[in-house]
Amino acid sequence: MEQNHRFNMWYVLAAIWGVILLQNLIFDHLRPQIIPYSEFIKAVSDGKVVEVAIGQDKISGKMHDKDGHEILFTTVRVETDLSQRLAEHGVKFSGRVENTFFTALLSWLIPIFIFFGIWYLLMRKMQGGQAGIMNFGKNKAKIIGEKDIETRFNDVAGADEAKEELREIVDYLAKPQIYLEVGGQMPKGVLLVGPPGTGKTLIARAVAGEAGVPFFSMSGSDFVEMFVGMGAARVRDLFVQARDKAPCIIFIDELDAIGKARGAGGITGGHDEREQTLNQLLVEMDGFDTQKGIIIMAATNRPEVLDPALLRSGRFDRQVLIDKPDVNGRRAILDIHAKKVKLDDDVNLEIIAQKTAGFSGADLANVINEAALLAVRNSRKKVSILDLDEAVDRIIGGLEKKNRVINQEEKKIVAYHEVGHALVASLTPGCEPVHKISIIPRGLAALGYTQQRPTEDRYLMSEKELLAKIDVLLGGRVAEEITFGSVTTGAGNDLMRATDIARAIIVEYGMGKTLGLSTYPRQRSPVFLQQDQHGGGRDYSDETAAKIDLETKEILDERNSQVKDLLQQKQHLLVAIAEKLLEKEVLFEDEFMAMVNGN
Ligand code: ADP
Ligand code: MG
Ligand code: ZN
């Protein structure tokens, strides 16, 4: 916005320059020529002077120049008595009382008027027609809602669940009165959560496009201004503008830039500005009701850093997850972007989709674009499969540095590992049903995951259920072991959690042999107060500790051999489902259970 001001200064300079130029053009030939007195006398003698008006100290009049054109002239009067000479040469002459007052006044007034005129116009423009001149926060926050957005849900592929959830919002924005009549309450804020490049910005635009409402968008990083109070002023202005244009969508991209938990500044502090902006956003969100037909959408790829106040009910209480696409999603995204380039007839995008596990929508758009560039470089008229292959390799090269792509061998191990978890869960009584198995890498840590679906809220657990949990955790590692004859580091986290549960059974819940009913719940002292692992924070003897360790190991060994037996019995299922998962990358409850039950 700083830029805008400089831009306006240029306008002023241009206007002044224009006025000067114009003056020169228009008045040039009207302006009398100043000539020396001697020349004037000579002209009189030569009979060239037609008429003169004689003032106190200036003489002006008309004369013929050497081409015979009539021109205006003035000269400074030197002689006191001219009349005789003039009469001699037959010049028409008259006296003149000089009144310089008005010309002087005009020469002052006109520039002042022009100056004020320009200034006034500029001010009005900057204010956007608002009264008040010192309202600077306002100028800087000028936000214009985009109308007639062309993006539609069809432009977003592979995010079917998200689209389904957002369809309700579209419907509401398109016809708010119907919802109002029934009395339904719309969510105020919808938070789009997902890894970078998965199409969050795109889908937000698509919502506005589908509903046909204006789209006010700002990026969180835009809000963070140099001067204190600007960010808050912008938020205020954003909402003022949006209220005028309702129904509409306010979209705040990269919400984490302003929405970080307050007080997270640490010792350096100095985040007052961001805090003020965030507070203003909270105030504005509380200050209007959805009856007006305004929906606030925001996007972030780091929901965990957001201030909890933002996620409270009445604010961004609805979250829509947009995950990396699976094979089918990738295929659909490739199809969308491939429409923009010319493809060879023998190109099979299915193969490209299979090769690009872990790619986001933006990565895939990039593949197509890169392939088109390669085709041009190889002087081909159409994009061939070779170009696409090379483009994929290049982008994998870039992504590998960020650890987001796994190779085929690893993918296979991950698939068996996850199906191991899932199979044990489905075959052990007392386990929550498997909701989803995925081997699409998520960020740095998890290469795959198995999601279980709690069937009810549970506050109590029996020993059996705790052991079943351990079984499920061990299932991944066991599946690797019986399939490949070796295990990988991927099971590390599972083992840690399994060990925790086994210890808790003994130490916290009094279900073990060693301690009987005496329990020693773990002390939750802050990390930096803890001594080394064997020292403080423990109030039983070393002997007891050794026994606990032994019993923990016994439990885990016992469970491990149980799970091994189970999975060896069901190895045909393990293989069949893991291969299916490798192919589809995501399996949902119904498909999975159908295979477990042998259909
Ligand atoms: P995000 O906001 O989640 O980081 P963007 O919406 O900015 O991602 O996506 C960047 C680009 O990637 C989009 O403009 C689009 O071209 C492409 N893209 C991402 N996801 C999809 C998708 N699901 N379908 C089609 N194109 C997508
Ligand atoms: Mg974005
Ligand atoms: Zn695991």
> Ligand 1 pocket, 365 CB below 6 A?
yes
Predicted confidence at residue 202, as pLDDT, reads: 94
For ligand 1, what atom is nearest to the CA of residue 202? 6
> Ligand 1 pocket, 200 CB below 6 A?
yes
- Residue 404 Cα, ligand 3 centroid: separation in angstroms? 18
Amino acid at 474: L
CA atoms of 42 and 549, how far apart (whole Å): 126
Residues 332, 412, single domain; the answer is no
Out of 366, 397, 428, a domain closes at 397
- Residue 229, by phi and psi: left (phi above 0), alpha (psi -120 to 50) or beta? left
Residue nearest to atom 15 of ligand 1 (CA): 362
Does 1 fall in a domain? no
> Ligand 1 pocket, 157 CB below 6 A?
yes
Does 116 fall in a domain? no
- Residue 479 Cα, ligand 3 centroid: separation in angstroms? 10
Residues 208, 294, single domain; the answer is yes
Predicted confidence at residue 521, as pLDDT, reads: 66
Residues 317, 333, single domain; the answer is no
Does 15 fall in a domain? no
The pTM of the whole model exceeds 0.75:
no
Residues 308, 333, single domain; the answer is no
Q: Name residue 449's beta-bridge partners.
A: 438
Does 17 fall in a domain? no
Does 134 fall in a domain? no
- Residue 414 Cα, ligand 1 centroid: separation in angstroms? 27
Residue nearest to atom 4 of ligand 1 (CA): 197
Residues 183, 300, single domain; the answer is yes
Q: Are 158 and 195 in contact (CB under 8 A)?
A: no
Kindly give the pairing relationship between strand 189-193 and strand 318-321: parallel
For ligand 1, what atom is nearest to the CA of residue 336? 25
> Ligand 1 pocket, 448 CB below 6 A?
no
Residues 278, 378, single domain; the answer is no
CATH number at residue 512: 1.20.58.760
Ligand nearest to the CA of 196: 1
Ligand nearest to the CA of 447: 3
Predicted confidence at residue 364, as pLDDT, reads: 94
Of 160, 295, 277, the closest CA to residue 223 belongs to: 277
CA atoms of 491 and 599, how far apart (whole Å): 30
Ligand nearest to the CA of 203: 1
Total of domains in the chain: 4
Residue nearest to atom 17 of ligand 1 (CA): 362
> Ligand 1 pocket, 196 CB below 6 A?
yes
The secondary structure of 88-117 as a DSSP string is: HTT-EEEE----HHHHHHHHHHHHHHHHHH
Q: Is 225 a catalytic residue?
A: no
> Ligand 1 pocket, 420 CB below 6 A?
no
Does 420 fall in a domain? yes
Residues 83, 183, single domain; the answer is no
Residues 317, 334, single domain; the answer is no
Does 522 fall in a domain? yes
Q: Which domain holds residue 208?
A: 142-263+271-321
For ligand 1, what atom is nearest to the CA of residue 158? 23
Residue nearest to atom 14 of ligand 1 (CA): 202
Neighbours of 141 (CB within 10 A): 23
CA atoms of 296 and 235, how far apart (whole Å): 12
CA atoms of 478 and 484, how far apart (whole Å): 10
Predicted confidence at residue 529, as pLDDT, reads: 41
CA atoms of 70 and 63, how far apart (whole Å): 6
Residues 564, 435, single domain; the answer is yes
Burial of 294 (0-12, 13-18, 19+ CB in 10 A): buried
Out of 346, 362, 397, a domain closes at 397
What is each CA distance from 67 to 30, 45, 63, 70, 142, in whole angstroms? 18, 17, 11, 9, 61
CATH number at residue 71: 3.30.720.210
Looking at 210, 225, 254, 418, which residue is catalytic?
A: 418
pLDDT tens, the chain, 599 aa long:
444 455 567 777 888 888 888 777 766 666 778 888 888 888 888 888 888 888 777 888 888 887 778 888 888 887 767 778 788 887 888 777 766 777 788 888 888 888 888 888 887 666 544 433 444 444 444 566 777 888 999 999 988 889 999 998 898 888 888 887 887 777 888 999 988 899 999 999 999 999 999 999 888 877 665 566 677 888 888 888 888 887 889 999 989 888 877 665 444 445 677 788 888 888 888 887 766 788 999 999 888 888 888 888 888 888 998 988 888 999 999 999 999 999 988 888 988 888 888 889 999 999 999 999 999 998 999 999 889 988 888 887 766 555 556 678 888 999 999 999 999 999 998 888 888 898 887 654 567 778 777 666 666 788 888 999 999 999 999 999 999 999 888 888 899 989 989 988 888 888 888 777 777 766 544 444 444 444 445 667 888 888 889 999 999 999 999 999 999 999 999 999 999 999 888 898 889 999 999 86
For ligand 1, what atom is nearest to the CA of residue 196? 4
For ligand 1, what atom is nearest to the CA of residue 194? 3
Q: Are 185 and 169 in contact (CB under 8 A)?
A: no
Pocket test for ligand 1, best of 161, 202, 322 (most atoms within 8 A of CB): 202
Out of 98, 125, 155, a domain closes at 98
Q: Which two tokens stand for residue 240?
A: 């003022």
Residues 452, 375, single domain; the answer is no
Residues 85, 230, single domain; the answer is no
Residues 211, 350, single domain; the answer is no
**C-alpha triplet 60, 66, 67: angle, nearest 5°:** 110
CATH number at residue 166: 3.40.50.300
- Residue 525 Cα, ligand 3 centroid: separation in angstroms? 29
Does 185 fall in a domain? yes
Of 42, 46, 44, the closest CA to residue 93 belongs to: 44
Contacts of 374 (CB under 8 A, 6+ apart): 383, 387, 390, 391
> Ligand 1 pocket, 367 CB below 6 A?
no
